[in-house]
Chain A
Amino acid sequence: MKVPITVSVNGRAHAAEVEPRLLLVQFLRDVVGLTGTKIGCDTSQCGTCTVLLDGVAVKSCTCLAAQADGSAVTTVEGLAATGVLTPLQDAFWEKHGLQCGFCTPGMLFAAHELLRTNPNPSPEQIRHGLEGNICRCTGYQNIVRAVQAAAAAGGRA
């Protein structure tokens, strides 16, 4: 049995018939073909698959594709669609908030969610806000700096 769904991804409607068990992250990567969203675990711990679902950050491994029917998803590919980096992307670049870059797409959306709900977070609040996302390279310090810089610039993702 397959389920017909239509999901708007980065402003484009994608209609597909999917298995009920298909995860949103698998839909994005394997059906839509946007591989910027990463998979780093199978227990919803790492946060690399974080995207925006109707404007709210979700781990796209915790959501079935069928649940996203009729929703709008933003992935990392949708952030700098015009070629200009967003303030958060630019701050991650400027503050060396990434090394291997594998966790970065998810980290950008975790930071976006933090700034959406708290535009001027303290370093402690930033650290708390990012604790659902794992980065093994940076020790998080420069990610915190990047989020601070983006907040100071009034930016979101």
Chain B
Amino acid sequence: MSVTLTAPSPGRVFGSGIRRREDPRLLTGTAVFTGDFTLPGQTYAAILRSPHAHARIRKIDTGRAKAAPGVIAVFTGADSDATLKPIPCAWLIPNSDLKPAPYRPMAKDTVRFVGDAVAVVVADSAHQAYDALELIEVDYTPLPAVVDPQKATEAGAPQLHAEAPGNVAFHWTVAGGDIDAAFKSAAVVIRDRIVQQRLIPTAVETRGAVAQYVPATGELTLWNTTQNPHIVRFIMSVVTGVPEDRLRVVAPDVGGGFGSKIAQIQGDFITAFCAMTLGRPVKWVETRTENYVSTTHGRDHVQDVELAATKDGRILGLRATVWAGMGGYLSTAAPGIPTILHGLMLSGPYQIPAVKEDVYGVYTTTTPVEAYRGAGRPEATFMLERLIDLLASEVKLDPVEVRRRNLIPAFENGHAVVTGLSYDSGNYQGALDKAIAHIGYESLRKEQAAARAKGRHLGIGISMYVEICGLGPSQVAGAVGFQGGLWESAIVRFHPSGKVHVFVGISPHGQGEETTFAQIVADELGVAVTDVKVVHGDTDNTPMGWGTYGSRATAVGGAALAVATRRIKDKARLLASHLLEAAVEDIEYAAGKFFVRGSPDKAKTIQDIALMANVAWNLPQGMEAGLEASSFYDPPNFTFPFGTHIAVVEVDPETGHIEVKRYVAVDDCGHQINPMIVEGQVHGGVVQGIGQALWEHCVYDQNGQLLTGSLADYAVPRADVLPDIEVLSTVTPSPHHPLGVKGIGEAGTIASTAAVYNAVIDALAPFKVRAVQMPLTPERIWRATGGRKGA
């Protein structure tokens, strides 16, 4: 072979914080998001939404809207009902008496939340569509509303669905150990009621879709801002009846998700229906106020919790009853969140011999609840970390000491916990020690005492967590009722020039896998990162994937990619052995070169091999042409990242003002592919969790009207109210993962709410304040302290 290509010097890029490959297009306005698409013959949809939380629809008059300028069509639920099936719930948790009620893409007889879709206008322009919306007349008979998930289960509460008496969508229980014995023998029992307030995820790009239907072929293409385009194809096919082979879903650049772009929502199906009916492309993009009522919310738990312990602070058992608001209908993954992702993580990083939790999923006349960053795990971590601080206070021990007495000792390969899970690896003490050393815990306590003496109120809050991610073994997914697999797939394709295309099933929306996945390939195969193009998001040219959520994209998708690259290497080694005329056992590989053992100058680069494999002039007998491999990776277990966060706050009891003065995060996500990206994930996650502790609250009034229906009312954290976050890490590789990675997308959010909350309550210790409802607004703090300067 006379043609050779120079191998770039790859170095080791796994583990280095290189600049992201996706950034140039995002920095120059050339990235294309769903709302940026305009197709030939484009039309625009606007959706009429219920102003009532609960009402019967008596009559809809669309006559005037149909006659308005530019209007092409107006449809109601009566029009779409024959075509569109109800939106399926896709996480049917077993042994829970689950009662999914029909969730229509457009309501027909009854609306069950403010924002429930009632009609749609399609017009030549968006302005004309919105103008015509105001001409639709709907005659409603209002019905009583109920927004509190616990109250919705009480006798006499308004009933949402005939299928679910008492509004209970499911009742799920997790139990392990002898919980009755634990409480019987306990010297100390701590009780609390925790309200995990409802939150609005608020991705800065709202939801939207552009649908194009070709009547002659029956093909539907949907550009959709989603975290999981392949699941969209699957569910869209079920609802619209368009077969999967004629359905193409494209997730172009996606402007954040945080769980709010997992579920398929009404607008997606309505947009598809309009395009199918009219044979013209239809675009629908939510306004922000529409987003706040129509796209899913998060959290919304009422928790009654009890902790049994010895008088020296050792935990004996944890018992809880949770009412989890589901909203008016069960969203795609909703039932799995307060159960599998919450209840199974109840024991956290601690040795807890017995747990029992009853979870009631409850219909309320509110926007459906779904995953929001952390999804179930923040609600578990907060519960535990609150109870441990209350325990510390009760037994008069330092909160760090109580944690130390209960931690699971370090382990490298498997630790069974009381809920039935087996954690993969952990060194919880290590993360705690590092955080305490970094922040200077002992001297901080002295500083706090000195400040108190002068009438200043510092607080120190600790939060330890272990979370479940890398979802997950498909067999387990099936056993817990997830209506799909949870494996991932990847294809690695070498071109003759040695450049590489990678096609993956996962679909990032800000997490940077176009870079980190290129780093995996570069490191495994000795090519430059800039020679690897990662393709994702289009169901027509990428292999199946189950989505980017639950911190699973790198943990599972990255593993699939690693396996595929190793298959490439196996084939390349065979070809190198042939070209170098040496036995395959004698071929060694290092840094992009295959060479004969003992003769490093007798070598072929991966680029040499790629060229020969592609031209196929000289292959060993029986070898197929091309250098390409695919893999389907089904993980043997979940991954369990962990860490310790510490917040330091100062509270002004006279005004209720809280300042977060320092924030230290020690996270362990195993090996880090790109530490710069890991740090960025921690920053963003921590801030979302601080947001829950201090500012964010999705508020409904008793009639089910959303009072925080815009960004003027819902308090998303802004730059001027946040501290710099000090990010550290420990490294405990996952023993079962091909790259030893675990996942980092949600860790910050899981840990930070409790860290900040605990710090505030610690600051208020002189006032004997035991609990304040989140978010910890100045008014609530002021009321808790009575506006006194000192105790």
- Note all chain B residues with C-beta closer than 8 A to A48: 204
> Are the C-beta atoms of B725 and A141 separated by less than 8 Å?
yes
Cβ contact of B710, chosen from A21, A45, A124, A139, cutoff 8 A: A45
Chain A, range 29-78, C-beta contacts under 8 Å to B = 29, 34-43, 45-46, 48, 75-77
- Note all chain B residues with C-beta closer than 8 A to A40: 204-206, 255, 288, 711
Chain B 688-725 per-residue mask, 1 if CB under 8 angstroms from chain A, else 0: 10000000000000000000001110001111111011
> Are the C-beta atoms of A96 and B680 separated by less than 8 Å?
yes
Known: A93-B19, A104-B26, A136-B688. A41 touches B288 (CB 8 A): yes
> Are the C-beta atoms of A41 and B710 separated by less than 8 Å?
yes
Measured CB to CB, the nearest residue on chain B to A134 is B716
- A17: CB under 8 A from chain B? no
CB distance from A64 to the nearest CB of B (A): 13
> Are the C-beta atoms of A100 and B28 separated by less than 8 Å?
no
Cβ contact of B205, chosen from A35, A94, A100, cutoff 8 A: A100
Cβ contact of B256, chosen from A35, A43, A102, A143, cutoff 8 A: A102
CB distance from A52 to the nearest CB of B (A): 13
Q: Cα distance A16–B561 when bound, in Å?
A: 50
Highest count of chain A CB atoms <10 Å: which of B24, B29, B287, B511: B29
- A98: CB under 8 A from chain B? yes
Q: Is the interface of B mostly helix, strand, loop or mixed?
A: loop
CB distance from B433 to the nearest CB of A (A): 25
- B586: CB under 8 A from chain A? no
- B1: CB under 8 A from chain A? no
CB distance from B727 to the nearest CB of A (A): 9
Chain B, range 5-32, C-beta contacts under 8 Å to A = 17, 19-20, 22-32
Cβ contact of B711, chosen from A41, A79, A99, A100, cutoff 8 A: A41
- Note all chain A residues with C-beta closer than 8 A to B510: 99-101, 137
Cβ contact of A136, chosen from B20, B256, B512, B721, cutoff 8 A: B256
Known: A36-B29, A98-B23, A134-B711. A46 touches B720 (CB 8 A): no
Measured CB to CB, the nearest residue on chain B to A101 is B26
- A138: CB under 8 A from chain B? yes
CB distance from A76 to the nearest CB of B (A): 4
- Note all chain A residues with C-beta closer than 8 A to B716: 134, 136
CB distance from B132 to the nearest CB of A (A): 15
Cβ contact of B35, chosen from A39, A42, A96, A123, cutoff 8 A: A39
Q: Cα distance A126–B22 when bound, in Å?
A: 25
Highest count of chain B CB atoms <10 Å: which of A29, A45, A123: A45
- B296: CB under 8 A from chain A? no
Chain A, range 78-106, C-beta contacts under 8 Å to B = 79-80, 85, 89, 92-94, 96, 98-105
Known: A40-B206, A89-B27. A142 touches B683 (CB 8 A): yes
> Are the C-beta atoms of B27 and A98 separated by less than 8 Å?
yes
- B677: CB under 8 A from chain A? yes
> Are the C-beta atoms of B33 and A138 separated by less than 8 Å?
no
Known: A40-B288, A93-B20, A100-B204. A127 touches B30 (CB 8 A): no
Q: Cα distance A41–B713 when bound, in Å?
A: 12
Measured CB to CB, the nearest residue on chain A to B287 is A42
Known: A40-B288, A46-B204, A136-B258. A85 touches B718 (CB 8 A): no
- B432: CB under 8 A from chain A? no
CB distance from B664 to the nearest CB of A (A): 14
> Are the C-beta atoms of A38 and B205 separated by less than 8 Å?
yes
- B684: CB under 8 A from chain A? yes
> Are the C-beta atoms of A136 and B202 separated by less than 8 Å?
yes
Highest count of chain A CB atoms <10 Å: which of B28, B32, B289, B679: B28
> Are the C-beta atoms of A131 and B719 separated by less than 8 Å?
yes
- A150: CB under 8 A from chain B? no
- B627: CB under 8 A from chain A? no
CB distance from A125 to the nearest CB of B (A): 10
- Note all chain A residues with C-beta closer than 8 A to B255: 38, 40, 100-103
> Are the C-beta atoms of B683 and A134 separated by less than 8 Å?
no
Q: Cα distance A128–B720 when bound, in Å?
A: 5
Chain B, range 641-690, C-beta contacts under 8 Å to A = 676-677, 679-680, 683-688
Q: Cα distance A92–B23 when bound, in Å?
A: 9
- Note all chain A residues with C-beta closer than 8 A to B717: 139
Q: Cα distance A39–B711 when bound, in Å?
A: 13
> Are the C-beta atoms of B27 and A108 separated by less than 8 Å?
yes
Q: Cα distance A76–B26 when bound, in Å?
A: 10
- B408: CB under 8 A from chain A? no
- Note all chain B residues with C-beta closer than 8 A to A108: 27
CB distance from B44 to the nearest CB of A (A): 10
Measured CB to CB, the nearest residue on chain B to A21 is B127
> Are the C-beta atoms of A100 and B254 separated by less than 8 Å?
yes
> Are the C-beta atoms of B687 and A139 separated by less than 8 Å?
yes
- Note all chain B residues with C-beta closer than 8 A to A42: 287-289, 710
Known: A93-B24, A94-B19, A102-B204. A138 touches B683 (CB 8 A): yes
> Are the C-beta atoms of B27 and A35 separated by less than 8 Å?
no
- Note all chain A residues with C-beta closer than 8 A to B206: 40
> Are the C-beta atoms of B288 and A134 separated by less than 8 Å?
no
> Are the C-beta atoms of B20 and A139 separated by less than 8 Å?
no
- A144: CB under 8 A from chain B? yes
Measured CB to CB, the nearest residue on chain B to A144 is B719
- B608: CB under 8 A from chain A? no
> Are the C-beta atoms of A35 and B29 separated by less than 8 Å?
yes
- A7: CB under 8 A from chain B? no
Q: Cα distance A75–B28 when bound, in Å?
A: 9
Q: Cα distance A12–B23 when bound, in Å?
A: 26
Measured CB to CB, the nearest residue on chain A to B201 is A136
Cβ contact of B720, chosen from A29, A41, A127, cutoff 8 A: A127
Chain B, range 28-49, C-beta contacts under 8 Å to A = 28-33, 35-36
CB distance from B680 to the nearest CB of A (A): 5
- B509: CB under 8 A from chain A? yes
> Are the C-beta atoms of B509 and A96 separated by less than 8 Å?
no
- Note all chain B residues with C-beta closer than 8 A to A79: 28-29
Q: Cα distance A102–B202 when bound, in Å?
A: 12
Measured CB to CB, the nearest residue on chain B to A135 is B204
CB distance from B710 to the nearest CB of A (A): 5
> Are the C-beta atoms of A139 and B19 separated by less than 8 Å?
no
Q: Cα distance A45–B204 when bound, in Å?
A: 11
- B524: CB under 8 A from chain A? no
> Are the C-beta atoms of A105 and B29 separated by less than 8 Å?
yes
> Are the C-beta atoms of B27 and A77 separated by less than 8 Å?
no
Q: Cα distance A21–B718 when bound, in Å?
A: 30
Measured CB to CB, the nearest residue on chain A to B255 is A102
Chain A 12-24 per-residue mask, 1 if CB under 8 angstroms from chain B, else 0: 0000000101000
Q: Cα distance A137–B201 when bound, in Å?
A: 11
Q: Cα distance A90–B312 when bound, in Å?
A: 56
- Note all chain B residues with C-beta closer than 8 A to A138: 680, 683-684
> Are the C-beta atoms of A99 and B512 separated by less than 8 Å?
yes
- B634: CB under 8 A from chain A? no
CB distance from B46 to the nearest CB of A (A): 13
- B203: CB under 8 A from chain A? yes
Cβ contact of B204, chosen from A43, A92, A126, A134, cutoff 8 A: A134
- Note all chain B residues with C-beta closer than 8 A to A19: 127
- Note all chain A residues with C-beta closer than 8 A to B32: 35
- B424: CB under 8 A from chain A? no
- A130: CB under 8 A from chain B? yes
- B253: CB under 8 A from chain A? yes
6 closest cross-chain pairs (CB), A and B: A36-B29, A101-B26, A102-B255, A100-B510, A76-B29, A139-B687
Q: List 16 A-B contacts (CB under 8 A).
A: A21-B127, A36-B30, A37-B29, A38-B255, A40-B711, A42-B289, A43-B288, A46-B288, A89-B27, A100-B204, A101-B253, A136-B202, A137-B204, A139-B688, A140-B683, A142-B679
Given contacts A85-B27, A100-B256, 8 further A-B contacts (CB under 8 A): A39-B35, A45-B711, A46-B711, A79-B29, A96-B676, A99-B512, A130-B718, A135-B719
